[in-house]
Structure 1
């Protein structure tokens, strides 16, 4: 675990690859709608000249994964922080339920170590209908900028 943490500290000097994908099926005729956001990032720790890090990591592989739902205090804090940001952005929508799953994978090779991590947020969105009449419905899309600067620990 110490090696994994040391690797995460070193990643600032490496070249990252990242991606994010959001899927949301907003139904203006219901009170809640599901959403799913997937984040993926890969970075490499290079040690072409060997060294202590190479000696420590050589041939090792670690995986850490878990899931948590809205009963977890960390997930509750994440919901609150996301809702604060959504509100600050001027949206009335709210995250009402959230499940978090994460997977970290470290694999050491001869000249580098790769660290892949994936975080998936799946939840329910509410209060996204601004106005509705017999012919039209105006849906709030200002909630799409999910983010937080807070440190949140999810067990």
Structure 2
């Protein structure tokens, strides 16, 4: 079974007609498939490659970091210079009342972090959840 068939069988599809291009290389703004055909990448890895694939400065920064360590816990437990410097940079560009950054890997973690922050900031221990709230708003006349 080839890679495309394995992809279609074992990777959850996000559409009924996935492109299923077998990408073997990405450089700058181009992608190359297994047959050597090149494509312009207009998605950019959904922001993860917004400076292009394999940008030399990004690769240099990655190698520098890998020489120190690859990954340690990032949720405010260990002091890590790159994370601290980035948080400081972001805080300098935010309103004064927003002076801390919570780094996450996904939207789910961001929501969890927001819930924890709300509990911490309000000293309340309960969270109310709503189901079909938007639909209910449409049925209510707002004055």
* TM-score normalised by length of structure 1: 0.21
In terms of Rg, which structure is larger?
2
Higher relative contact order (CA 8 A, sep 6+): 1
- TM-score, normalising length from structure 2? 0.22
